[in-house]
Structure 1
Amino acid sequence: MCWDLIQSKEDWAILLRSRVLRQSTCIKHHVFSSIWSGTKNEYQVIRDNSRWIVGNGASINFWLDDWCGEPLVQSFNLQPVQVSQFPKKLCNYIQNFHWYLPAEVSQMLPNLRSFISQVLIPRQAKDDFLIWKHNLTGILTLKDAYEFKRQHFPKVHWTKTIWSKDFPPSKALLVWRLMLNKLPTDDILTTRGCSLPSMCSLCGKFSESSFHLFFECLYAVNLWCWLAATINRTLHFQAPEDMWEISNSSWNPQCKVFGSVHGSFCPPLVVITATMINIINSIWYARNQMRFKDNKNPWKTSLSNVLACTTLCGNLTTAVASSCISNFVLLKKFNVILHPPRAPKIIEVIWKPPPPNWIKCNTDGSSNNLISSCGGVFRDINSNTLLCFAEHTGMGNAFHAELCGVMRAIGLAEQYNWSNLWLECDSAIVINAIKNKTLIPWEIRNRWENCMYIISSMNFFATHIFREGNACADSLASLGLPLDHLKIWFDAPDCIKSSLARNKTGMPEYRFVTF
């Protein structure tokens, strides 16, 4: 509600803002308003975690609002009284879509012009836009507000292992409760103030605790020893979290590669994880049967139930098997039917030159999780290289680098008067972003909209190509990582000459797709 109050164009928001806001600060006295009473405590939170995207400047206070990283009075260590004689609205400092500073402002702050020049002004008139800093779109949703206000806990590695579509939720829930110390064992009940004599219902020798019941009790030890013998591993548990090391690191990398094809585990990992989940559930079931019904289940009976449930999970999984013989033997021990991977589909990828009087530019981005870069190559109808470029794009992910490559290509096309431009890249989301600007991160939205304004006066279209056909741009993007400025080649660098030759002769590349 406070977010809507600040940035909404509806009549109620405009009226309430006129009552409670004074030059980007809220009033101190009380007003009779049910809306303001419930939102005023969050006003400063919103202000501290949002900033303005510059449009026409009519809604932005040049000195007090955050539109260039932080308010200018903070950046230049000024007091509001020192700038009170200067125009307040940012629109007073824009003329013909360029920055304009009065002489007295430039004289007082000589570094101000270079500081604000880092902020792009849109080439067409549009309203200022308030954005939320902590997401890419800049729009504060109910989900974002909840994530910002809620208490955050450290992430644990075993959550996705437990909550998998391969395991029944009822069984996964019990293991989840065990990992969070929420199962009502005697030690947990004691911490909740329920004092009672404690005795393990399965072994009858020691007091019951979560760790003893599931890992130290003779009943549990028999089940874990059977699993250790089956998978030929030594199991040693000092905490419940240790059991996930079996599925996380005990299997060769080949298994994990096959498991990632469908975003799931490979069958051996599904089977091992399902076995551990079923062992926990069987121990808990046997404990409750003994404690509440005086019905003792031998551990071999529980073992038969574990095997049956694990076989069912292994046969119903959609994960595919690897060619590892040890995994084949393991699956057969659990009577699991192998799911061989499908034969890959082979797609022929051929780079195509542009039509007559058109220029084609292939772009790509590169990122190493620390820095990113972009690159591209312009070619004509005869596949002759007109221009290559590479540029460091600062800290950012691959998507940010891909967008910077597209924007740089459009800027160069405008600079060299190439009015018929065919843009091609290997990122489908970038192609979609050309049609839907909400996909663009707010940090570069003004630059992106300026590029969209440029192509509105050009003959322009964009297409997607698989990365196998975009090798030239990919190599150029990698060249940009160590650079500190834009680099342009009119003769192709040596690293892409072989790829350019293959493209020029129409030689195909091949893409192998596994479904």
Structure 2
Amino acid sequence: METSVKGCMEFLDRFCLCSGQKINVEKSSFMMYFKTPITLINTIARITGYHHKANHMTYLGAPICDRQVKIIYFNDLLAKIRNKIAVPKKVLNINSAWKVGQGNTSFWHENWSNRGVLVNVFAEVEPQAPISLEEAAEVNFSITGMSDAMIAQMRIWYDSRLKSDSDERLWAPSPDGRFMVKSDFSLLSNQGPACPLARHYWAKFIPKKISVLLWRFLHNAIPVDVRIQDCAISLASGCLCCVHRNIESVDHMFLSGEIAAFLWDRLAPLFGIHRTKYRGLREFIAAWFNVAHRKSQMGKLATLFPMAIMWEIWAERNRRRQDESPSSMAAILYKVLQWVHNINPLLRISNHSPGMLHHILRVCKLSPTPVRRKPPLLLRWSRPPPGFCILNTDGASSSQGAAGGGVIRDDRGILLAAFHSFYRSGSNNLAETRALLDGLLLCQQLGITNFIVKVDSKLVAGWYNRKCSIPWHLSLWWQRIREATGNLNINLKHVYRELNSSADCMASLGLSSRSNCSITTDFPMRLVGLACLDRLGMPYIRLGYKYYSFSKMLLKCLLKAWTFYLGETNPLCEN
């Protein structure tokens, strides 16, 4: 046995000598069968210098034993796992929300109110003992250490909680409340500022390999000789794209090298760009991307040309690095133009180009791509069926806050009521949702049971008609909407913004005044004018995606002309 152990140690010594690695004797150990004589164990320990482990030993973090495995052997491993989980658990608690069912969640340490973890919100209160939300609700939140104002706030938050059949944890950063690795990664990672050129070089019509090359250039990740030298690697530099070998840097190879200069000087002047006026490649590429609107044909060509040139320069450099036969200047230019010829028919154009585009197309032998526009639509407000009213609602949001508004009209188009509400901070979807709820509640107050609802938000229409899932943070408001419409047969439809201009007028008024108001008489002048135009059948013209509203002066002129044509009188037109 002693000879075998010495042989193993000699092998380990040779391994250390060949590999350059060393064995840490202090961290090394061995284990024997539990019936092994103590004299043999002492002999092995003396020869090796390793520690003897009696019951179990740890290898790569996991316990090894020769008899029955015990839970205590895994304590060190479990402690490491707990420490690893501690940080993500903290992130999970901060970014969690809850739908409350039985209330078995922690009252202090879970975000059941969806307004923050209470132990952080009320940091001045020291929790006396663990307590669940159900237990806190049973005592009506009369908990030791909490002031009367806190208790009243708890009761309000509990009444406005998200309800469910069972307790359900929601992932707050995700709209549907489901955990997504992408959203978690965005929380844990440090995100840098967005690149202003990204929307150009990541365009769908650009092949991804070309987009990645430009991304690598912007992040200094193209392995030219100078970049490799920056990594403390000794390297003799010589640009393979030049007859007279210059130092191979990014700016030299892609901007001032012989191949680059030939390609840029042939193609850049067509777009009104001259290479010699720019100090570096980044500034030069940015000039290309700003030649024309990025959704015009000229703008897309000005994005494609420089990226195709850079790709072919890089491809030619790599071919020469691999000792392949070099291509001529004319052949490289042909490859660049071939990229453009293949991609140009696939472009989808929505904006017009400057007049110089025709010269570019003629020189490069490219075909013009027509601008795709939706045909104009002639829209008119339609009256509801006899005996029905119509409710229009709309939401508005800005940096100043969120607001909603709406109008109720009868089957003749006469204004019955209007409202606007200010919701403080919030998104446009929140404003649209709360405006719908306020409009439904106003109809209930007025005793209106037969009515049609029209909104200009496709999302709100989809949520109401159960065609798409509702974001968790709007669930409370939609619970109230379902309760308000539970016994009613309401038809909710989506309409264009033009046909919802009266509700938009009230929402804008709520945003500007930052107030709440419901009126049944003395309606705002602008609202009266819009309602009269709708009632008289004045058409709206929708040009593509653009929407044009009426000014006060235009409203008066239109009303005068239209009522004169119809032979009607209108008190708004008397002035």
Q: In which range does the TM-score fall when normalised by the shorter chain?
A: 0.7 to 0.9
Following superposition of structure 1 onto structure 2, how do residues 191-270 of structure 1 map, counting pairs within 5 Å? 191-192=230-231, 194-203=233-242, 204-235=244-275, 236-251=277-292, 255-256=293-294, 259=295, 266-270=296-300
Q: What is the distance in 2 between the residues matched to 1:125 and 1:274?
A: 53
CA deviation map 1:351-385 (0-9, x unaligned): 22333443321011122355222110011222221
Amino acid at match of 1:285: A
- Superposition deviation, residue 155 in structure 1: 2.7
Amino acid at match of 2:402: S
1:52 to 74, 79, 98: 98
| 2:110 counterpart of 1:65 | yes
What's 2:334 paired with?
304
CA deviation map 1:105-128 (0-9, x unaligned): 798423531465256536977434
What's 1:507 paired with?
538
Q: What is the distance in 2 between the residues matched to 1:433 and 1:243?
A: 48
Q: What is the distance in 2 between the residues matched to 1:190 and 1:475?
A: 64
What's 1:380 paired with?
410
Q: What is the distance in 2 between the residues matched to 1:318 and 1:484?
A: 42
What's 1:165 paired with?
204
Q: What is the distance in 1 between the residues matched to 2:264 and 2:228?
A: 26
2:489 to 459, 470, 482: 459
CA deviation map 1:278-318 (0-9, x unaligned): 21122223323444337444434423332332233223323
Evaluate the alpha carbon distance shift between residue 77 and residue 437 of structure 1 in structure 2; reply closer, same or farther with a 3 A threshold: farther
Larger Rg: 2
2:434 to 387, 404, 412: 404
Q: What is the distance in 2 between the residues matched to 1:47 and 1:107?
A: 22
Contact map agreement 1:137 1:438 (CA 8 A) in 2: no
Evaluate the alpha carbon distance shift between residue 415 and residue 40 of structure 1 in structure 2; reply closer, same or farther with a 3 A threshold: farther
Q: What is the distance in 2 between the residues matched to 1:130 and 1:224?
A: 58
1:498 to 529, 533, 551: 529
What's 1:8 paired with?
none
Evaluate the alpha carbon distance shift between residue 146 and residue 218 of structure 1 in structure 2; reply closer, same or farther with a 3 A threshold: same
Q: What is the distance in 2 between the residues matched to 1:292 and 1:122?
A: 67
Contact map agreement 2:384 2:411 (CA 8 A) in 1: yes
Q: What is the distance in 2 between the residues matched to 1:52 and 1:463?
A: 31
Q: What is the distance in 1 between the residues matched to 2:147 and 2:450?
A: 47
Evaluate the alpha carbon distance shift between residue 160 and residue 312 of structure 1 in structure 2; reply closer, same or farther with a 3 A threshold: same
Contact map agreement 1:211 1:239 (CA 8 A) in 2: yes
Following superposition of structure 1 onto structure 2, how do residues 185-196 of structure 1 map, counting pairs within 5 Å? 185-192=224-231, 194-196=233-235
Q: What is the distance in 1 between the residues matched to 2:135 and 2:490?
A: 32
Contact map agreement 1:378 1:385 (CA 8 A) in 2: yes
Q: What is the distance in 2 between the residues matched to 1:107 and 1:297?
A: 81
Q: What is the distance in 2 between the residues matched to 1:357 and 1:276?
A: 65
Q: What is the distance in 2 between the residues matched to 1:387 and 1:58?
A: 42
Q: How many residues align?
A: 467
What's 1:421 paired with?
451
What's 1:363 paired with?
393
Q: What is the distance in 2 between the residues matched to 1:59 and 1:168?
A: 53
CA deviation map 1:452-473 (0-9, x unaligned): 1221122212001111111101
Contact map agreement 1:106 1:112 (CA 8 A) in 2: no
Q: What is the distance in 2 between the residues matched to 1:208 and 1:512?
A: 53
Amino acid at match of 1:58: G
Evaluate the alpha carbon distance shift between residue 332 and residue 393 of structure 1 in structure 2; reply closer, same or farther with a 3 A threshold: farther
Per mean C-alpha deviation after superposition, the further-off stretch among 328-337 and 378-387 is 328-337
- Superposition deviation, residue 439 in structure 1: 3.7
Q: What is the distance in 1 between the residues matched to 2:120 and 2:346?
A: 61
- Unpaired runs of at least 5, structure 2: 1-73, 546-575
Q: What is the distance in 2 between the residues matched to 1:45 and 1:124?
A: 24
What's 2:550 paired with?
none
What's 1:316 paired with?
346
2:214 to 175, 181, 197: 175
Contact map agreement 1:271 1:313 (CA 8 A) in 2: no
Evaluate the alpha carbon distance shift between residue 94 and residue 139 of structure 1 in structure 2; reply closer, same or farther with a 3 A threshold: farther
- Superposition deviation, residue 438 in structure 1: 6.6
What's 2:15 paired with?
none
SS of the residue 2:203 aligns to: coil
- Superposition deviation, residue 409 in structure 1: 1.3
SS of the residue 2:448 aligns to: coil
What's 2:317 paired with?
287
1:133 to 168, 172, 178: 172
SS of the residue 1:360 aligns to: strand
Q: What is the distance in 1 between the residues matched to 2:332 and 2:537?
A: 64
Amino acid at match of 1:110: A
CA deviation map 1:26-83 (0-9, x unaligned): xxx969999x869843333311221324x4562343344323322334433344455x
1:477 to 507, 511, 525: 507
Amino acid at match of 1:363: T
What's 1:391 paired with?
421
Amino acid at match of 2:215: W
| 2:380 counterpart of 1:350 | yes
SS of the residue 2:511 aligns to: coil
Q: What is the distance in 2 between the residues matched to 1:301 and 1:39?
A: 57
Amino acid at match of 2:133: K
Contact map agreement 1:421 1:458 (CA 8 A) in 2: no
Q: What is the distance in 2 between the residues matched to 1:197 and 1:43?
A: 52
What's 1:25 paired with?
none
What's 2:43 paired with?
none
Q: What is the distance in 2 between the residues matched to 1:437 and 1:72?
A: 36
SS of the residue 1:117 aligns to: helix
What's 2:89 paired with?
43
Per mean C-alpha deviation after superposition, the further-off stretch among 486-495 and 222-231 is 222-231
Per mean C-alpha deviation after superposition, the further-off stretch among 107-116 and 219-228 is 107-116
Q: What is the distance in 2 between the residues matched to 1:46 and 1:343?
A: 46
Q: What is the distance in 1 between the residues matched to 2:447 and 2:377?
A: 36
CA deviation map 1:231-254 (0-9, x unaligned): 122444444432342244332xxx
Contact map agreement 2:434 2:477 (CA 8 A) in 1: no
- Superposition deviation, residue 445 in structure 1: 1.6
Contact map agreement 1:369 1:397 (CA 8 A) in 2: no
Evaluate the alpha carbon distance shift between residue 107 and residue 285 of structure 1 in structure 2; reply closer, same or farther with a 3 A threshold: closer
- Unpaired runs of at least 5, structure 1: 1-28, 260-265
Identity between Structure 1 and Structure 2 (%): 22
Amino acid at match of 1:185: V
| 2:137 counterpart of 1:93 | yes
Contact map agreement 2:407 2:503 (CA 8 A) in 1: yes
SS of the residue 1:52 aligns to: strand
- Superposition deviation, residue 162 in structure 1: 2.0
Amino acid at match of 1:89: L
SS of the residue 1:293 aligns to: coil
